[in-house]
Amino acid sequence: METPPQVPPDRTGPGAMDALHEAGIWAALALQAGPPWLEQFWVYLTSHFDPKSIYTFCFPLAHGLDARVGLMVLWIGLVAEWLNVVLKWFLFGERPYWWIHESGLFSQEELEKLPLRQFPVTCETGPGSPSGHCMIPGAALWPLVTALTAEVARSTRSRVLRLIPFLAYILFLVAMGLSRIFVLAHFPHQVVTGILAGSALGWGLQRCPPNFRVFRFFVAVAVVLMLSALALHSLATAAGIDLDWSLRLASAWCSDPAWLRPDTRPFASLCRVVGSALGLALAAETPLRRRDEDQLLDGRLRVASTVLALLALQLVHRLPRPSDAAALYRHVVVHYAAGPFLVVSVLPRFVIALRNFLEPSQVPPHTN
């Protein structure tokens, strides 16, 4: 006789978690009662600065400021996303937009009276704890914030000015957390957990950076992270634990089926992680020559390379996506592998070659 799938513990009956969830519903109601301009801000923030923006915006921008900082942003971001997927699988976190219907604490009459609204960014399909929108940027942006703080410290002795990067970091994460509560994607405790876990992870991983020139290391990372996640999923399924319970609840309670996005599934996140690790491997296999690195010290070339990288990644990630799940996952791996390869190796070489063609007098002499 088969073991029935485990029911997520949050819905086994009224208790402390239900009280916590109910308080989160009232927090969402309070936020949704705000002015229309604030609603537009929350929706814009949560839709434009999701975890994918770490790979497509923050990484190339940070790499343009400092190559090593940019690589650390990407490295910490992919580790944080993998860990976030695993934690979500085993913490069984509810999401407000389905919990309010599934909890049994609200009658149909009460639900009709509650002025709660869903949005196109509400219907994420994975479990809710901890918040990936808070945890992944919280971890990935840590090296960028510390680098900016160090740069400010070299320019001024003012303690207030030195605190500006960290204050901006904290304000961004708090605003992101509020936006996630507003759109009914997370409860407040999931947001707080995500911020704390992300900050701690960013602080810890920054203290032990990898060697970004070792091709085999990043290939091994990609293989290990994918196989370990698949093994955990298979073991949980064999033990009768249903890790896909959230997909069914999302489908049941999303206001508009068109809002159910395949790229919010846990395996899509894993494919982003694997693709980015393979992209770092490709970048490690094709490093810039010292002569090219010296040319990139020219501010004009760095700006040109950064702008081109931002545009190229936006173009790559706007390409049509296949509807089939397996094809979609392959698509995600390839696109996210292309990112680091383009940013670190291809586009800097293109910019240098273009400058040397247009301004041959600027070509540095060969050195032995």
Annotated binding-site residue numbers for substrate: 95, 180
Specify if 23 maps to a domain. no
* 219, burial (CB in 10 Å: exposed 0-12, middle 13-18, buried 19+): middle
Q: Do residues 88 and 126 touch, judged by C-beta distance below 8 A?
A: yes
Lookup: tokens for 325: 């799940």
Confidence at 10, pLDDT banded by 50, 70, 90? very low
Question: Is the pTM of the predicted complex or chain greater than 0.85?
Answer: yes
Amino acid 363: pLDDT: 61
Specify if 196 maps to a domain. yes
Residues of the domain holding 199: 35-97+118-355
The residues, ordered by sequence, that sit 6+ positions from 322 with a Cβ below 8 Å of its Cβ are 328, 331
Arithmetic mean of pLDDT, 126-141:
97
Q: What is the pLDDT of residues 174-224, one digit of tens each?
A: 999 999 999 999 999 999 999 999 999 999 999 999 999 999 999 999 999
Helix, coil or strand: residue 145: helix
Q: How far is CA 68 from the centre of its chain?
A: 19
Q: What is the pLDDT of residues 292-330, one digit of tens each?
A: 788 887 888 899 999 999 999 999 988 888 888 889 999
Specify if 15 maps to a domain. no
* Buried b or exposed e, range 280-292, using 16+ CB within 10 angstroms: bbbbbeeebeeeb
Q: Do residues 33 and 111 touch, judged by C-beta distance below 8 A?
A: no
DSSP string, 146-198: HHHHHHHHHH---HHHHHHHHHHHHHHHHHHHHHHHHTTS--HHHHHHHHHHH
DSSP string, 38-91: HHHHHHHHHHHSSTHHIIIIIHHHHHHH-HHHHHHHHHHHHHHHHHHHHHHHHH
Specify if 346 maps to a domain. yes
Q: Do residues 156 and 136 touch, judged by C-beta distance below 8 A?
A: no
Q: Do residues 143 and 69 touch, judged by C-beta distance below 8 A?
A: yes
Instruction: Note the residue count of the chain.
Output: 368
Single-letter amino acid code for the residue at 152: V
First and final C-alpha spacing in the chain = 73
Question: For residue 1, is pLDDT > 60?
Answer: no
Specify if 6 maps to a domain. no
Specify if 27 maps to a domain. no
Specify if 11 maps to a domain. no
The residues, ordered by sequence, that sit 6+ positions from 84 with a Cβ below 8 Å of its Cβ are 51, 130, 132, 135, 136, 194, 269
Confidence at 366, pLDDT banded by 50, 70, 90? low
Kindly state the DSSP code that residue 331 receives in the 8-state scheme: H
Helix, coil or strand: residue 294: helix
Find out whether the peptide bond into 209 is cis, omega within 30 degrees of 0.
Answer: no
Outline where DSSP puts E strands in the chain.
none
Annotated binding-site residue numbers: 95, 180
Tally of domains within the chain: 1
Specify if 24 maps to a domain. no
Amino acid 158: pLDDT: 86
Catalytic residues: 133, 186
Amino acid 106: pLDDT: 82
Amino acid 7: pLDDT: 43
Please name which of 240, 210, 362, 241 lies closest in space to residue 297, comparing C-alpha atoms: 362
